[in-house]
Chains A and B, each alone.
Chain A
Amino acid sequence: MAVPVIAAPSRSDGPRRQRSSGIWPALAAPGIIWLAACFVFPLYVVLCIVFGQIDPLFRTPVPVWNPLQWDPTQFTYVLTHIVGTHGVFGPPLLRTAVYVLTASALCLLIAFPVAYYVARLSGKRKGLLLALLIAPFWISYMMRMFAWVNLLQNDGIVNKVLTFGGLFNVHVDWLTGQPVVVILGLVYGYVPYMILPLYAGLDRLSQPMLEASRDLGADRFSSFWRVTLPLCRPTIVAAVLLTCLPMLGDYFTNDMLSASPKTTMVGNLINDGVQAPGQTGQAGAFVMLVFLVALLPMLYYIRVTSRGSEVST
């Protein structure tokens, strides 16, 4: 059964008459040069450092520019220390996967109902609700995390509320290596990034299609399950990827809310390695690893969004 993916206007081709015009390349050139110099080249430098040498005296990385002379020692060092007896990097990598997946699932669980309500059922309150949904976007991420640091301190409001004004004796150290706090922090930080694309997708969901399914005898559930969900599956995938990908490189949420080796993620490995002499190559290796893991989702995201001409934040 062929279901149209997203009811959005397909990209129209621009004016076609300009074969010989040199204007468009000239307009695009600064941007292309910029991306080549500041985006592609730095990624190549990462490769050169990962497969490069370390200065024996100063412990600084020495990049090797010729791919034929690349030395994979640092990269294999990282790879061989993931599993096995020296598997120091294994637990953080596994933890990253678990945290990111759990947090994304929780995000979706929160974001979908909220986006559904605001997009389809909120009626004349829609504008106000949308403004409130967007508000976290304009509040600095660090400030939002800092707000939770205040609340979760030992004498903070959360503990005060839990003790019911001295009724119970609750003293939880929320800010020292609690995985739950880190996961909830990730959810708190990234859920706005999921709600907005979901809202956009649900907002343009075809109403006649839903009415048709009800007219043809589907009840609430099957009309949701067999019409709404398949129609907005690309949106859901895009929204999940949009939250997963930045979470993969996140280390600051962890640092703010836990700052303990018990909750180290791959982002922390990168951050610690970059700042430690002699470990720059390892940090680079983790950067490559995250890049490789993120590559397929990124390609998939680009495909999903450019097919429906829906490239939203």
Chain B
Amino acid sequence: MRGPVTWWNDPWRPPRFLIGITAGYLAWSLLPVAIAVLYSFNDGRSRTTWQGFSFRWYWGDATLSVWHNDALHTALLQTLKLGVVTTLITVPLGVLFAIGIDRWRGRLPAGANFLMLISFVLPEVLLAVALLFVITTIALPIHLGTTAQVIGLITFQVSYPAVLVRARLATIGPQYEEAAMDLGASRLGALRRIILPMLMPAIFASTVLVFADVIDDFVLVRYLSGDAATEPVSVKIYNTARAAPTPALNALATLLLLAALTAVVVGFLVYRYMTRGDTTTKDRGIGAFAGEV
């Protein structure tokens, strides 16, 4: 038995306290969700008492399951639709914006960069209320519903690809582009054939990030949804969570979780394939992929 002083001075003792906190935190953060997923397979109506395993709430129940209930699968489709459409517009917009801002020097681009960063950290509810006011008080050809939701989501998300791409541009540095131009490439040619391929990992990572973030969004899509038909999953959960829902709601949330996890896992594997042999992103692994730049 060693004395406490030896123990204290041992630089190689395992950090038991930190291990304990980390394990406790992980259990606390993931177990509730795991339990919610588990109860989506419950055979009865209860979300608190286990009554046997079944797929009743996915497709078994003829009226209330996700597959058969219109309201529920409309929500899921709306979520996926918003995710795809928003991502397809946001990423090119943000990437072009980032490249332009990075190279163009002056007050206007500096101000635009500042605005972009503000939109990155602004509490979402402020932007949501502001956009709601615009659409409800001004006679615009845009009405509440999918279009308004997409516009709001793009505004909120465009900073993601912009921030990631700018960080990547800073790592790449000017030398490759200069070399290409010394060898006779035009400015656009160098951009298209040198810089864009080097940016691909960052562009791809931001695509997955934006998609996963959009299908998770709640505040903007709730205010800008016109009626029940354009309410995505998150709003559905919010509306019914306190009103004695069936485990079909758990099933709906589980399906959304599955969509997000699939996107992220596939995305991560592709990202690792894309960055193989790339020294600047080496051993960043999954961290680089989570928006850590």
Contacts and interface: CB of A to CB of B under 8 A. Distances in A.
Give the interface SS of chain A, mostly helix, strand, loop or mixed. Answer: helix
B21 A117 contact: yes
Interface in B101-140: 101-104, 108-109, 112, 114-119, 121-127, 129-134, 137-138
B256 A143 contact: yes
Interface of B: 15, 17-19, 21-22, 25-26, 28-30, 32-33, 35-36, 39, 47-49, 93-94, 96-97, 99-104, 108-109, 112, 114-119, 121-127, 129-134, 137-138, 151-152, 154-155, 158, 162-163, 166-167, 169-171, 173-174, 177-178, 181, 187-188, 191, 212, 215-216, 218-219, 223, 233-234, 237-238, 241-242, 249-250, 253, 256-257, 260-261, 264, 285-287, 290-293
A107 to B, nearest CB: 11
Interface in A93-137: 110, 113-114, 116-118, 121-122, 127, 129-137
Given A131-B286, A140-B234, A255-B238, A29 B18 contact: no
A39 B155 contact: yes
Interface in A192-248: 192, 196-197, 199-200, 203, 241-242, 245-246, 248
A72 interface: no
B160 to A, nearest CB: 8
Given A49-B137, A301-B121, A312 B292 contact: yes
B155 A188 contact: no
Given A127-B285, A137-B212, A274-B223, A132 B112 contact: no
A122 B250 CA distance: 34
Nearest to B186: A23
A26 interface: yes
Interface of A: 9, 11-18, 21, 23-32, 34-35, 38-43, 45-46, 49, 60-63, 110, 113-114, 116-118, 121-122, 127, 129-151, 153, 155-157, 160, 175, 188, 191-192, 196-197, 199-200, 203, 241-242, 245-246, 248-252, 255-256, 259, 267, 270-271, 274, 280, 283-284, 287, 290-291, 294, 298, 301-302, 305-306, 309-313
Contact of A150 (B35, B96, B121, B215): B35
